Amino acid sequence: MIEKSYAGMDHFIWWMGVVENRQDPLFLGRCQVRIYGIHTDSLVDLPSASLPWAIPVQALNNHTFTTPKETDVVFGFFADGRASQMPIMMGIVPGIETNAQNTGLGYHDLRDDVTVKAAPQVVTDREYKTDGTGSTIKQEPVGRYPTAIAMNVPTITGLSRFDLNPSDVMQSRISKPYPTFNSAAGKSWQEPKPKFNPVYPYNQAFTSESGHTLEFDDSKGAERVNLSHRSGSFIEFFPDGSKVEEVVKDNYRIMYSNDHIVIMGQAMVTFGSDVYIKAAGNIYLEGGNNMNVSVSGTMNLSVGEALNIKAQSVSMDIQKDLNVTAAGNQFLTAGGDMNIFGQGSVYASAGADFDVLAGTNANIQASSGVNLVGGTVNMNSGGGSTPATAAKPSGIDSPAQRSAYNKF
């Protein structure tokens, strides 16, 4: 009769071991673990492929996927007791790695070259550009574990104890230049430098194999939340609640419903290239005070229907020519005086009648001669108390048009 062993019986056995393979064909997060005291380090007597698969333990309310990597020290228990063929992984045991790479013995990273080549790569350099072309990264394979920079240091991420290496996004942010960005009206600003100042053990941090990071830092005076992509893009909340967001490549934001933005202080927006804004409906711009628009080149304003401008006064300073063309009638109306000055000659030309009407006097004065040329020139002065009335030009039909014409 075969004695049965199961978890909870008298022969409950704990174990510790080293992960040698995490390529689980069932995709359950299992690892093949060489266990201290039970398995030999001889690859001849016990190759990695013959090691039992250790099953990970997850929280009851969690279906996320994480798995230890090669050379990680893990611990757990045997679900089948003394039979020792059903290991259960409960966690990773951190430590300081002192065993260099060795492919000839167990308890090391024994992946074949094909698997190592297909594994994640680590960023070795980041180039931050401000010319609109997007930043670039250089990367190389991680290789076998432990890597050179992981030797003789704690296995937990260096973010937790302020021990950064060149591949860390935070190290790149600390050392990169911070250019000044110019905005309108002579305003300028700079991106705030990171407030990274963790005190062990208060920074709960995670670093992935290729260099993604996540931090929840509770260090007094340096409380932060930071999510960084290996490329250098990140979003970080500073100790005072400020947020800094940086995208080193293109950014896309799509809202399928309404968007609401309130800025209690100033807003400075700087674009390095062209800006295109299109609205399917109306556009409303409202300013509590002045509005200043400055364009270095040509400004084109195209309106499909009417263009209405209402102001207390309008001043136009034209350095060169001013051309106003109307396909229909054109009306100039002033409640007070209307003055037209020209440094050179002033020409008024009409394809049909040209009428000048004044409610009182009409004065034409020139420093030399006054020339009136036409087939017939009629001049009438004196006479009755009622001023002469000019003929109504064709096309003036509406009350608004008649009112505008009668003001001349």
pLDDT one-digit tens code per residue, 304-358: 999 999 998 888 888 888 888 888 888 888 878 887 777 777 777 777 777 777 7
With cut-offs at 50, 70 and 90, classify the pLDDT of residue 389. very low
CA of residue 231 relative to chain centroid, distance: 14
260 HSE (CA, 13 A, CB side) = 0
CB 33 within 8 A of CB 93: no
DSSP 96: B
All structural domains of the chain, each given as residue ranges with its CATH number in brackets, are: 14-111 (2.40.50.260), 135-179+192-246 (3.10.450)
H/E segment holding residue 172 = helix 169-175
Residue 184 burial (C-beta neighbours within 10 Å; 0-12, 13-18, 19+): exposed
pLDDT of residue 343: 74
pLDDT of residue 211: 94
Greater confidence (54 vs 320) lies with 54
Whether residue 166 has a cis bond before it, omega within 30° of 0: no
CB 205 within 8 A of CB 251: no
- The angle at the Cα of 151, spanning 227 to 127, to the nearest 5 degrees, equals 40
pLDDT of residue 7: 56
| pLDDT mean over 53-65 | 86
Give the span between the Cα atoms of 135 and 310, in whole angstroms: 47
Give the span between the Cα atoms of 350 and 346, in whole angstroms: 14
CB 9 within 8 A of CB 81: yes
With cut-offs at 50, 70 and 90, classify the pLDDT of residue 221. very high
| pLDDT mean over 279-286 | 94
Which of 48-62, 113-127, 294-308, 346-360 has the least mean pLDDT? 346-360
- For residue 276, give Cα distances in angstroms to 271, 273, 279, 283: 11, 10, 10, 14
Give the span between the Cα atoms of 142 and 337, in whole angstroms: 83
**Pairing of β 234-237 and β 224-228:** antiparallel
| pLDDT mean over 128-142 | 89
CB 7 within 8 A of CB 79: yes
